[in-house]
């Protein structure tokens, strides 16, 4: 019975994630267009794009390692979807709460990027190989500051003695903003800033879209993908965008609205769920939409230096402030 319950819950989460992820993708494109003085595509455009790709012919280059080239899109979708099963959704806990934690989520978040890189290498196309190399450079650049953010939060929660430190359910139930002093609040702000900067890089969005870079390498690691394979990568991107936004919300903004308003029961759960989706949209708008409208594409060396030096320094400063705050506050 427990397995059947987890199965239908996972199905609900994943179907909802596909609809919400594609919906947010449409909202992101519409808002970006409006900010640039354009009309933009209709909100349903991501659904139309996905449907069109699914009926297109899937072409595999003759130079490709066929089994690697064709399996990587499935791996990317499975990994991106799996992340969502470990993240609390508003008032509801994770489907797989007892079967993984933040360390596993870090690995799963890296899998779609690795899958895209392997697919690019396996295609045998020169532009795709260049894009794959850039993808791996980016992966090695932003993973360290992301790990510092996760370790910093888990270390501080461990000091509270409230449960497994790396559990997202524990972090969501114990927001640190009210558990620390002024130094700790400043440290959390630094960690939040670092995570918001990492988010568009994790998603390869402008200004961190160098692995695809249509104007330079003709789509890069996506250059040889088409049909169902490209549709799966498109879907993986939508799911990973939702997962990254949800991770930011759960780690730093896990608050509900029903409790303060005195609304309980089913109505309170619905209200908190709707508020969760609003927070997701706010994070996507701030970390993805505004950033890709405001900045031009960076070069690969600028990204590597930026993440390894200034951004890592910001994350480490946040961790240090949390340490100092604990020493003062206890």
Summarize pLDDT for 10-68 with one digit per residue, the tens: 888 889 999 999 999 999 999 989 988 888 889 899 999 999 988 888 888 888 888 88
The helix/strand/coil state of 169 is helix
Residue 318, pLDDT > 60, answer yes
> For residue range 61-95, what is the model confidence (pLDDT) as tens digits?
888 888 888 899 999 999 999 999 988 888 888 88
Q: How far is CA 197 from CA 115, 125, 166, 190, 317, in A?
A: 22, 31, 22, 11, 15
Going by C-alpha positions, the residue among 282, 246, 276 that lies closest to residue 258 is 276
Going by C-alpha positions, the residue among 201, 184, 139 that lies closest to residue 317 is 184
Indicate the number of domains in the chain.
Answer: 1
pTM reported for the whole predicted model: 0.89
Q: How many helices (H) and strands (E) does the chain have?
A: 14, 0
**Mean pLDDT across 103-131:** 88
> For residue range 219-266, what is the model confidence (pLDDT) as tens digits?
777 788 888 999 999 999 999 999 999 999 999 988 888 777 778 778
Read off the tokens for 38. Answer: 């354009």
Residue 330 pLDDT: 60
Range of the domain at 301: 2-329
C-alpha 68/C-alpha 155 separation (Å) is: 39
The helix/strand/coil state of 87 is coil
Torsion sign (Cα): 223, 231, 117, 106: positive
> Position of tokens 């594609």?
22
157 band by pLDDT with thresholds 50, 70 and 90:
confident
The residues, any chain, with a CB within 8 Å of residue 286's CB and separated by 6 or more, are: 196
Dihedral (Cα; 171, 5, 91, 180), 10-degree rounding? -10
């Amino acid at each position: 019975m427990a397995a059947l319950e987890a199965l239908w819950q996972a199905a609900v989460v994943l179907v909802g994630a596909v609809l919400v992820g594609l919906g947010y993708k449409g909202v992101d494109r519409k808002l970006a267009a409006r900010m640039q003085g354009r009309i933009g595509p209709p909100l349903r455009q991501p659904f139309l794009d996905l449907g069109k790709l699914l009926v297109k012919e899937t072409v595999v280059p003759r130079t490709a390692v066929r089994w690697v080239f064709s399996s990587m899109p499935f791996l990317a979708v499975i990994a991106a979807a799996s992340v969502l099963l470990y993240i609390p959704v508003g008032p509801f806990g994770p489907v797989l709460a007892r079967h993984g934690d933040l360390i596993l989520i870090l690995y799963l978040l890296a899998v779609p990027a690795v899958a895209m890189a392997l697919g690019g290498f396996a295609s045998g196309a020169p532009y795709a190989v260049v894009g794959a190399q850039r993808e791996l450079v980016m992966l090695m650049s932003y993973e360290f500051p992301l790990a510092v953010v996760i370790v910093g939060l888990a270390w501080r929660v461990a000091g509270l003695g409230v449960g497994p430190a790396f559990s997202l359910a524990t972090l969501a139930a114990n927001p640190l903003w009210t558990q620390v002093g002024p130094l700790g609040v400043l440290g959390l702000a630094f960690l939040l800033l670092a995570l918001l900067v990492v988010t568009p890089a994790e998603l390869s969005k402008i200004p961190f879209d160098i692995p695809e870079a249509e104007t330079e390498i003709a789509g890069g690691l996506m250059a040889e993908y088409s049909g169902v394979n490209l549709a799966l990568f498109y879907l993986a991107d939508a799911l990973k965008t939702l997962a990254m936004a949800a991770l930011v919300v759960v780690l730093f903004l896990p608050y509900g609205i029903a409790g303060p308003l005195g609304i309980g029961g089913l109505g309170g759960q619905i209200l908190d769920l709707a508020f969760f989706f609003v927070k997701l949209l706010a994070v996507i708008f701030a970390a993805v939409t505004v950033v890709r409208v405001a900045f031009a594409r960076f070069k690969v060396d600028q990204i590597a230096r930026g993440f390894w030096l200034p951004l890592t320094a910001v994350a480490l400063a946040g961790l240090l402030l949390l340490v100092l705050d604990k020493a003062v506050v206890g």
